[in-house]
Amino acid sequence: MIAPAKPDLVTVNIDGKEIAVPKGTNVIEAARLVNVDVPHYCYHPKLSIVGNCRMCLIEMGMPAVDPSTKAAIMDPATGKQKINWIPRPQIGCGTNVSPGLHVKTLSPMVKDAREGVMEFLLINHPLDCPICDQAGECKLQEQATGYGRGYSRFIEQKNVKPKRTQLGPRVTLDDERCILCSRCIRFSKEIVKDDVLGFVDRGSYSTLTCYPGKKLENNYSLNTVDICPVGALTSSDFRFKMRVWFLKQTNAIDTESSVGANTVVWSREGVIYRITPRRNDDVNDTWLADSARVLFKAVKASDRLTAIKINGTDGALDVAVNAAAELFKSNSAPGAIAVVGSGRSSVEEQFLTRKLADALKASTQLVSRVGQGDQLLISADRNPNVRGALVTGLITALPFGELTGLGAQIDAGKVKVIVAINEDLAAAGLTSAQLTKVSVVYLGSHFNASSAAAKVVLPTLSPFEKSGTFVNQQFRIQKFFKAVPGPVGATDDLMVLAKLVTAAAGLTLPAEINALWKVIAAEVPALGTMAFANLPETGLLLDATPFAALPFAEGETLHYKPAQPAVAAATA
Amino acid sequence: MPAPAQRRIIFQHIDEPGYTNDIGCYVRNGGYEVLKKAVGRKPEELIDEVKKSGLRGRGGAGFPCGVKWGLVDRKSGKPIYLIVNADESEPGTFKDRYIMHQDPHQLIEGTMISCFANNVKQAYIYIRGEMPHGARILEKAIAEARAANFVGPNILGTGYSCEIFVHRGAGAYICGEETGLIESLEGKRANPRIKPPYFPAVLGLYQCPTIVNNVETLCHVKYIAEHGGEAYSKIGTPGNTGTRIFCVSGHVQRPGYYEFPAGTITMGQLLNEVCGGPLPGRTFKAVIPGGSSAKILRFGERFKGKRKVGAEMLDYDWGVEDVPMDFDSLGMIGTMGGSGGVIVMDDTVNMVEALANINAFYSHESCGQCTPCREGSLWMKKISSRMVHGLARPEDAALLKSVADQIPGRTICAFGEACSWPTQSFIAKFGDEFKQYSETKKTAKPEGAHELV
Ligand SMILES: Cc1cc2nc3c(=O)[nH]c(=O)nc-3n(C[C@H](O)[C@H](O)[C@H](O)COP(=O)(O)O)c2cc1C
Ligand code: SF4
Ligand code: SF4
Ligand code: FES
């Protein structure tokens, strides 16, 4: 018997298990909640429902009621309300729960329907798994094993379709593998509003193609590769590079902008092969910009800094730190040292940067990186973590424009030493003349004008080589993890910063992230109740109200509206 | 029993000498008088007349028209659209085309009455892409009716306005399926929609409530508005009211279109008396009673069971010739009245070859959205055409049936049934021909005949 449900919940029975689910949930999602897998291809939680693959066919029924009296009709055999089973299988994706809905996913009717659909999907499929990139993450392969009959009755000629169409600069299409689920079409139309994909021809000859004269070249084109359930759409970059089952997956955050899209970094033996989106329904849904997926190429770039330099000669870390300490000591007048922190640094790094600046009585500034948002997953603020700098107290005002104020102070002879962390001062607006007037201590991962001009160069890690947190535009603190080891010669940013703090103030701070978080939690009220290890993978919203008056640069993006400041924190 | 006389209420003027398709001729014959009266009545009254009439849709499914109109969401505040389904493409069906070519104003009058009854301000006639001539005739007729104030703003001074637009179809059979039609009318591929949620009565054209009716159905509405639902319901038999138009094609002496009160004529009377029987020296072998997707009947098979006649349940024991040609009787014996396309095959027809032809049609016309229909229809076609091209295996009959069985009831639209019923029924009734086809001498092709697909 179905228990009375709460008003916004609907109780359904799936394979004998009862569960209350929110109204509007479809049967696939409801089944997921009781760990029942309803195989599907065309259904995608973030796209419109078309019900075309027919893989999700299941048996459904409703409790029987007398049509005139509306009284329940009981089944004398079971003593329970009789269920009127619909004689034809129904699609789970297109059916929303209704009170008392009964579902069978394991009945002979369902098994037969699934076997039929699987057979149909395979008859014209090239069955070229051994040379297909999708192998290992192919729904067709998985569900053929799980729900297919395991033999073929098809002796006719298979359909022939284009095998290697370049749909755009980053996406390759094999039409013979396409199961015509239309996910890629719906994604382009509904999410990116770039309606360039469609089918031509009819029936089994239907062929996916690009609108004549157009290309699939928007900055989200690779999402079609992610959601293609088969190997029809592949990434032209990743194609034939590596079998996915050899790859290690590491959760990370896109550093392109303050959206903070959740990602997975796929690597093997210290080499990154690709970046894909990680679902976060409050941030990026299941999407990720193409531009976010090539960021890992910087890891192996030829301009990586791999040698610690002191006045142009190689040296050890402690020698370099001592050299920096000497610079700090000889410029102890208040305001003689400036710290240029970064909105690309992690919260932890920003915390240590603030500690360093405090110890040096240095002024602090951040480099502003404002561009145009794309209203989807790239916001106007191209720094991933300006809000981290606010939360940790590294800055109190938003960075704006170039570092002209700092330049003026250099010209006035006030600032003598600059500690630049992951920021190129030249790119941020200082002239080369100004750079020659100061001593630069540079921490960073890549070569630039500042590293070239620096007295002390401390090579550090790229975001793929370390762990930490960023606070995105919603004031959501999100974790990222080390996917690959850094190059020889580079040191973890936290280690370098901790050593500099010690050198400047005699204060010992932990460089290990969990230990450091104890200090952070004790000193930063907004993070007071948290620990790095306990932060959820999808992040935690911080209290944004202290910063509500700041003129943030971001316009509207997916799951972010600037007019409404982020909702008060669940910091408990 | 001799066949009853034809009763032409829809085809009254079809092929009438001197009858032309202009408004002058139509009005001389009493045209638009019904509309004039109808716009003076209450719309609900007209809907009631249609409900009382028992009129069932003539597009194929035989769905009661009054019930369909009753399902329309009238509370949404959105406009209600009416679409005339003039996509007539079911093989074996050729009735709507004659109405449009020879008596277009009958359709326009019926459409306007239906629009008025349902408070529709905009109607579309979606005409099959391959009928450009019909489209031009309709456009001219609408212009004439508009000039005479039967269509357009402030019709006959009543304050009621309604426009009719002709939309030329996209040239695919699936454009006739109502939700595919709606997609096509919206300018997209005619991919049928899932129901639920996209029932036209609620979420149809442009997501507004929409009525889709067949050409002939709307002509019946005109007759009902003229004579009343009560009077209409007395034509034909209970549950199968009004007249039915049969489009008889194939191996009879006099193929053509014939209109009879529904349920009053049997298959045997229709084929033997009305159509003159088989060609000289031949015998009837099989007949498809309601368009090519209807299940085939084999002459010689018998259908037994009980049926309701008045209040009583009576036994019936019918041969194909004895079956009354109405929705319910044909449904009872496992086929359907469908669109009224009666396709007759005599003893010269090889069933494997006939099925190969039908399968070629359906595999070509599947929209390709849903897996069972898309893949199943082409697979069946590949098997049957391999068979006729000489590589038949005895096990192909069972394979064909098994493939067909995996389609119906599992697809988005009724095309799944349409494409699998022929194979299912051909194998069920002529299974031996399929099993033995590998040994059968192939039918000699007449001089100049088209190659088999
Ligand atoms: C595959 C398919 C093709 C159809 N083609 C036509 C057609 O050509 N003309 C038509 O009137 N109805 C056609 N129908 C039926 C329509 O979907 C719809 O039921 C009909 O237009 C409703 O009108 P009625 O109620 O007046 O019969 C088709 C249905 C299917 C499933
Ligand atoms: S390419 Fe992939 S996502 Fe697109 S329709 Fe084909 S199978 Fe679906
Ligand atoms: S049943 Fe066939 S025609 Fe209908 S939607 Fe599915 S594929 Fe298209
Ligand atoms: S998931 Fe494709 S039909 Fe339901």
Mutate to test the pocket of ligand 3, among B181, B182, B194, B373 (most ligand atoms within 8 A of CB): B373
Kindly state the percentage of chain A with pLDDT values over 90. Answer: 94
A with B: how many residue pairs have Cβ under 8 Å apart?
Answer: 100
Closest CA to A103 of A91, A115, A112: A91
In contact, A335 and A363? CB cutoff 8 Å: yes
φ, ψ of residue B72 in degrees (nearest 5) = -65, 130
Cβ–Cβ gap A203/B363 under 8 Å: yes
Residue A474 has pLDDT above 50, yes or no: yes
In contact, B257 and B248? CB cutoff 8 Å: yes
Cβ–Cβ gap B412/A120 under 8 Å: no
Cα–Cα distances in Å, from A463 out to A331, A478, A490, B62? Answer: 32, 13, 13, 66
CB of A47 shorter than 6 A to ligand 4: no
Atom of ligand 4 nearest to the CA of A181: 2
* A7: confidence class by pLDDT, cuts 50, 70, 90: low
Cβ–Cβ gap B376/A120 under 8 Å: yes
More confident residue, B262 or A78: B262
Q: What are the tokens at A55? A: 């893989």
Cα(B140) to centroid of ligand 1, in Å? 25
Cβ–Cβ gap B367/A203 under 8 Å: yes
Atom of ligand 1 nearest to the CA of B418: 1
- Burial grade of B140 (CB within 10 A; 0-12, 13-18, 19 or more): middle
Angle at the Cα of A303 from the Cα atoms of A302 and A306, rounded to 5 degrees:
95
Query: Angle of helix A108-123 relative to helix B371-386, nearest 10 degrees?
Result: 60
ipTM comes to 0.95
Chain A residues in contact with B382 (beta carbon < 8 A)? 156-157
A51, A153, A203: residue with CB nearest B374? A203
CB of B367 shorter than 6 A to ligand 3: yes
Query: CA-CA distance, A419 to A513, in Å (whole number)?
Result: 22
Helix (H, G, I), strand (E, B) or coil at B161: coil
B366, B383, B412: residue with CB nearest A203? B366
Residue B444: the pLDDT is 67
Cβ–Cβ gap A54/B372 under 8 Å: yes
- The model's pLDDT over A408-428, given as tens digits with 9 standing for 90+, comes to 999 999 999 999 999 999 999
Q: How many residues does chain B have?
A: 453
Chain B residues in contact with A230 (beta carbon < 8 A)? none
Residue A157 has pLDDT above 80, yes or no: yes
Cβ–Cβ gap A203/B379 under 8 Å: no
Query: Mean pLDDT for chain B?
Result: 96
CB of A210 shorter than 6 A to ligand 2: no
* A1: confidence class by pLDDT, cuts 50, 70, 90: very low
Atom of ligand 4 nearest to the CA of A43: 1
Query: CA-CA distance, A455 to A320, in Å (whole number)?
Result: 9
As a three-state string, the secondary structure of B61-109 is CCCEHHHHHHCCCCCCCCCCEEEEEECCCCCCCCCHHHHHHHCHHHHHH
Interface probe with B: pick from A98, A158, A204, A230, most Cβ of B within 10 Å: A204
Query: CA-CA distance, B241 to B260, in Å (whole number)?
Result: 11
Chain A residues in contact with B191 (beta carbon < 8 A)? 50, 52
Which DSSP state fits A522?
H
| Contacts (Cβ under 8 Å, ≥6 apart) of B417 | B293, B407, B408, B409, B411
Least confident of A116-120, A292-296, B309-313, B330-334: B309-313
B189, B382, B412: residue with CB nearest A156? B382
Instruction: Looking at the CA of A182, name the nearest ligand.
Output: 2
B172, B370, B383: residue with CB nearest A52? B370
Cβ–Cβ gap B370/A205 under 8 Å: no
Q: What are the tokens at A124? A: 């014209």
Least confident of A504-508, B6-10, B225-229: A504-508
* B443: confidence class by pLDDT, cuts 50, 70, 90: low
Cα–Cα distances in Å, from B60 out to B89, B215, B217, B290? Answer: 11, 12, 10, 8
CB of A54 shorter than 6 A to ligand 4: yes
Q: What is the helix, strand, coil percentage profile of chain A, to 5?
A: 30, 20, 50
Chain A residues in contact with B406 (beta carbon < 8 A)? 112, 116, 119-120
Q: Which pairs count as long-range contacts for B25-34, CB under 8 Å and 24+ apart, including other chains? A: B26/B103, B26/B105, B26/B106, B27/B148, B31/B105, B31/B106, B31/B109, B32/B105, B32/B109, B32/B145, B32/B148, B32/B150, B33/B226, B34/B109, B34/B113, B34/B222, B34/B225, B34/B226
List domains and CATH numbers for chain A. Answer: 9-120 (3.10.20.740), 128-240 (3.30.70.20), 309-547 (3.40.50.740)
Helix (H, G, I), strand (E, B) or coil at A547: helix
By C-alpha distance, the chain A residue nearest B364 is A203
Q: In chain A, positions 395-454, which contact chain B (CB-CB < 8 Å)?
A: none
Could you report how far apart the first and last alpha carbons of chain B are, in Å? Answer: 41
Query: Mean pLDDT for chain A?
Result: 95
Matching residue, tokens 């924190």: A569
CB of A51 shorter than 6 A to ligand 4: yes
Q: Quick one: residue B60, left, alpha or beta (phi over 0 = left, psi -120 to 50 = alpha)?
A: left
Query: HSE (CB half, 13 Å, CA atoms) of A106?
Result: 7
Residue A563: the pLDDT is 63
Chain A residues in contact with B366 (beta carbon < 8 A)? 202-204
Helices (H) and strands (E) in chain A, counts: 13, 26
Q: If you average pLDDT over residues B207-227, what whole number do you get? A: 98
Query: CA-CA distance, A501 to A518, in Å (whole number)?
Result: 17
Query: Angle of helix B351-365 relative to helix B371-386, nearest 10 degrees?
Result: 150
Omega of the bond prior to A87 within 30 degrees of 0, cis? no
Chain B residues in contact with A151 (beta carbon < 8 A)? none
Cα(B367) to centroid of ligand 3, in Å? 5
Chain A residues in contact with B412 (beta carbon < 8 A)? 51-52
- H/E segment holding residue A38: none
Omega of the bond prior to B197 within 30 degrees of 0, cis? yes
Residue ranges lining ligand 1, Cβ < 6 Å = B 57-61, 63, 68, 85, 87-90, 174, 176-178, 212-214, 217, 413-415, 418
Helix (H, G, I), strand (E, B) or coil at A139: helix
Residue B2: the pLDDT is 87
For ligand 3, atom 6, name the residue with the nearest CA: B370
Residue A564: the pLDDT is 46
Residue B452: the pLDDT is 61
Q: What are the tokens at A17? A: 């298990």
Cα–Cα distances in Å, from A472 out to A158, A375, A391, A469, B396? Answer: 50, 15, 11, 10, 63
Question: DSSP per residue over A245-289, as a string?
Answer: GG-EEEEEE--SSTT--EEEEEEETTEEEEEEE--BTTTTBT---
* A2: confidence class by pLDDT, cuts 50, 70, 90: low
Atom of ligand 3 nearest to the CA of B366: 3
Cβ–Cβ gap B371/A121 under 8 Å: yes
Cα(A171) to centroid of ligand 3, in Å? 29
For ligand 2, atom 3, name the residue with the nearest CA: A228
Closest CA to A288 of A172, A378, A350: A378
| Contacts (Cβ under 8 Å, ≥6 apart) of A271 | A300, A484
Q: What are the tokens at B5? A: 């006389």
- The model's pLDDT over A263-288, given as tens digits with 9 standing for 90+, comes to 999 999 999 999 999 999 999 999 99
A49, A112, A206: residue with CB nearest B368? A206
CB of A208 shorter than 6 A to ligand 2: yes
Shortest CA gap A43–chain B (Å): 13
Cβ–Cβ gap B371/A54 under 8 Å: yes
B174, B375, B399: residue with CB nearest A120? B375
By C-alpha distance, the chain A residue nearest B399 is A153
Shortest CA gap B370–chain A (Å): 4
B196, B368, B399: residue with CB nearest A203? B368
Antiparallel, parallel or unpaired: β A456-459 and A439-444: parallel
CB of A53 shorter than 6 A to ligand 4: yes
Residue A565: the pLDDT is 45
In contact, A139 and A171? CB cutoff 8 Å: no
Task: List beta partners, residue B346.
Answer: B284
In contact, B247 and B95? CB cutoff 8 Å: yes
Q: What are the tokens at B356? A: 């190969």
Query: CA-CA distance, A161 to A457, in Å (whole number)?
Result: 56
Mutate to test the pocket of ligand 4, among A26, A27, A32, A40 (most ligand atoms within 8 A of CB): A40
Rg (CA), chain A: 29
By C-alpha distance, the chain B residue nearest A52 is B370
Cβ–Cβ gap B368/A153 under 8 Å: no
Instruction: Looking at the CA of B87, name the nearest ligand.
Output: 1
Q: If you average pLDDT over residues A382-386, what whole number do you get? A: 98
In contact, A14 and A103? CB cutoff 8 Å: yes
Question: DSSP per residue over B5-31, as a string?
Answer: PP--SSSTTTT-TT--SSHHHHHHTTT
φ, ψ of residue A469 in degrees (nearest 5) = -140, 155
Cα(B307) to centroid of ligand 1, in Å? 28
Instruction: Count other Cβ atoms within 10 Å, centred on residue A81.
Output: 18
* B448: confidence class by pLDDT, cuts 50, 70, 90: confident
